[in-house]
Structure 1
């Protein structure tokens, strides 16, 4: 491929050794739907006078989108496949509104600190593929993959994956040819060398848009399967039930080494004891298997310190809402949004993770402050996690989803973004006192996912080992 984008890395090692990120892009939204949503740009260059500050702001034309997950139009997987009409580069960010079902395309190339909206995929275009409530973006074979929670026009399903043209951003149609028994949707990832796509399960739009309903949780109505698909045939091959007590099977983190056929997924909460868990999927002969490898228990708490939903339980659940795997496949980070903790595990042996460090921020009960503002009790907790390609910097933001924020943190979560320095030799975490954007830095909006300039640990699939 001539004139290849230098941020298309042949291998995980190439990504790790490339120049570090200078900027972070952060999805920001108004939970009331009154102010226009935006993409905040944060300075990550350690020697900069504005390090850790918001240095750019791309306001969208509309409000009420609830920006959530977003991603690049192209990434390192472009080196694995051909057939594009134009020159691909990691230039555009596709930013879906999970409530509005609009998808905004922002160009970062003219001025990386001030991306501009250059295209909008309207909700009715996504509905043409049979979907709404877009969630996760990954560049991939045949187009950009866009997972979606809902059926057309907000219907309760089935959710799935829409395919979007790499060059024109036209909605091509549904990715699936044979869906089988799959109905619920959430994340999508793959093992390119194993012709396998994997999808996870959260819930239908009606189950999530008004907050966490305890009857849905206790009734075990949330997703509890992993789905394995043929990438080439686009049909469902295998469904694995993790057990209906393990509610909400969310973030998929496959090994970055393209020769490996394993990855991690988290479940948010157990309907039996409020614990959370992390599972490893792996190839087992011709089939796939999934094993639980981490259990994180709930922490006892006084009922008076808990929101109404949790008072009967006398405990605060960890609520593992995100995980992220370092590009070298050695370190797994687990965010416990309920207890306000970010955990680090050594997963050199993915079947036997070993906890090596943790930091506390926020939490339903603890409200642990950041050392940069020791008198400011924090609401929310480490939620979305993003890791630099070299693994040395871990960025966290604190909002989950507006209606769920308000159910579990009734006085709101505010907005904050922190950076944690990671020891990538022996393990260890240290909060960076210089990097703590919060409050008015985000102009009254809440913040969700982060993407790093040049790619990050959850953006890319790699084609080669060297």
Structure 2
């Protein structure tokens, strides 16, 4: 069972969040991201059967070599190794491994550590079944002018946008988006606004980004700084000052110029940002972790970006803790994971202003990440949230599970116990195929976006 003291800490945190949100200040410690529909629109897309799933895994002292790892799982049902770990690449040390991001040609995979601020670049094209580490960036903080905690890796043509969660001045949540080129060279740091933009006050906090090239729009969300995401939960909830330092905003940007155009008040730490891919759709969705809300962002008749609170996930009083989400390729469904009850929830978004939860399934004692294939027929789940946030004792399950989805029910395809395999805590996932020549551009349909580039940056596309 989840330790009684830990649950009391979560309830204490919920009460504190409710009080702070009432004052217009969001507080929430949770993190989560990864599937084909979360990929950058500039990355080639797997529309058929994925061959491999890469899992970015947190090392645990006393388990295996104790280091963070990139774990490769064979997921092609036709393979003799289906549902088995076929490679494990240790990066040495524990960095608070968190998120992965594919390059714009899907030949490389970037992974970051929220504690060490190191970035690891893997070659996943020479031998997709056995990735190799080709570059380690250990000067991210120095090059970015003090940004700490590389989180999201989001590819654009010749570039990688990296969201930072913190800074080295006070280790708080004020941060920036940091831009590198595809070779791993630093280009530019773009601060998240702390001023009034579009009628609302920016708080400077950062978490995830997602781009809609058709509208030249980029949405960013917010979380918290190193002081909080690396702190013991029980200690943090008893610290009134720490409880004041969580994100409460989302920001809409002009993607081409990387200038913020509007700040939205979205209390409760909005996490993953996802745009609908359906033809004619131009809306994005995010969820707030502790306040358990679903937010939609779209343009009104005057072309102004607006935010709409359209739903509540579970019973906020029960502290479901919404974490990762995955939107269907037609924009009419969203998987939403809730960490505390280990449950995944399927929401019907046919009417995005009035979405409905239509299916739930308990995946384990805890669940964090959800990744679905492009066709939505295969759904993958992993468990780890943060090293200091995962449950304790028997409830500290660490796994990768794959389910088949027929539109009505999830049926388990395979399950891998990462502790039993001595691999550590399973966090973020990305897919790959054996033959990259079979892939199409992410948006190959008639409404494909212009090849929008970051015009304000030097050496564009190189």
TM-score between both structures, scaled by the size of structure 2: 0.77
Please state if 1:286 is matched with 2:265.
Answer: no
> Retained in 1: the 8 A contact 2:177–2:192?
no
- Distance change (3 Å), C-alpha of 1:155 and 1:461: farther
List aligned pairs for 1:224-373, cutoff 5 A: 224-242=248-266, 246-257=267-278, 259-270=280-291, 276-284=292-300, 285-298=302-315, 316-363=318-365
Equivalent position of 1:78 in the other structure:
none
**Which of 183, 186, 190 does residue 175 from structure 1 map onto?**
190
> C-alpha displacement at 1:215, in angstroms?
4.8
2:403 maps to 420
Change (3 A) 1:176 1:465: farther
Deviation string 1:99-157 (CA, Å, 9 cap, x unpaired) is 11000000012211110000111134664344111001110156111111012477325
Cα-to-partner distance string for 1:188-212 (whole Å, 9 max, x where unaligned):
1121121211110101111111133
Q: 1:289 to 1:418 in 2, by over 3 A?
A: same
Contact 2:144 2:178 survives alignment (8 Å): no
Partner SS, residue 386 of structure 1: strand
> What are structure 1's unaligned runs of at least 5 residues?
1-8, 75-88, 271-275, 300-314, 364-380
Aligned CA distance change for structure 1 residues 277 and 106 (closer, same or farther; 3 Å)? same
Q: Distance in 2 between matches of 1:200 and 1:216?
A: 24
Q: How far, CA to CA, are the matches of 1:136 and 1:298 in structure 2?
A: 29
Match of 1:393 in 2: 378
Alpha-carbon separation, structure 1, partners of 2:79 and 2:325: 29
Conserved 8 A contact 2:333-2:349: yes
Q: Which runs of 4+ in 1 moved over 6 A?
A: 9-12
Q: 1:195 to 1:124 in 2, by over 3 A?
A: closer
- 1:415/1:442 contact within 8 Å kept: no
Higher relative contact order (CA 8 A, sep 6+): 2
Equivalences, count: 391
Output one character per residue of 1:347-369: Cα deviation in whole Å (capped at 9) or x when no partner: 12222223232211223xxxxxx
Which of 393, 400, 409 is 1:429 aligned to? 409
Given that residues 203 and 247 in structure 2 are in contact (C-alpha distance below 8 angstroms), is that contact kept between their aligned partners in structure 1? no
What CA distance in whole angstroms lies between the structure 2 residues aligned with 1:105 and 1:10? Answer: 17
Shift of 1:399: 0.8
> Normalization by structure 1: what TM-score?
0.77
Task: Determine which of 86, 90, 100 is the counterpart of 1:59.
Answer: 90
- Runs (5+) with no aligned partner, structure 2: 1-38, 196-201, 448-462
Superposed CA RMSD: 2.9
- Distance in structure 1 (CA, Å) of the matches to 2:298 and 2:270: 16
Once the two structures are TM-superposed, the CA of residue 10 in structure 1 deviates from its matched residue by 12
Distance 2:41 2:108 in 1: 22
User: Superposition pairs for residues 76-91 of structure 1, below 5 Å?
Assistant: 89-91=105-107
**Which residue, 99, 123, 131 being the options, matches 1:69?**
99
Q: 1:336, 1:19 → 2: CA distance?
A: 28
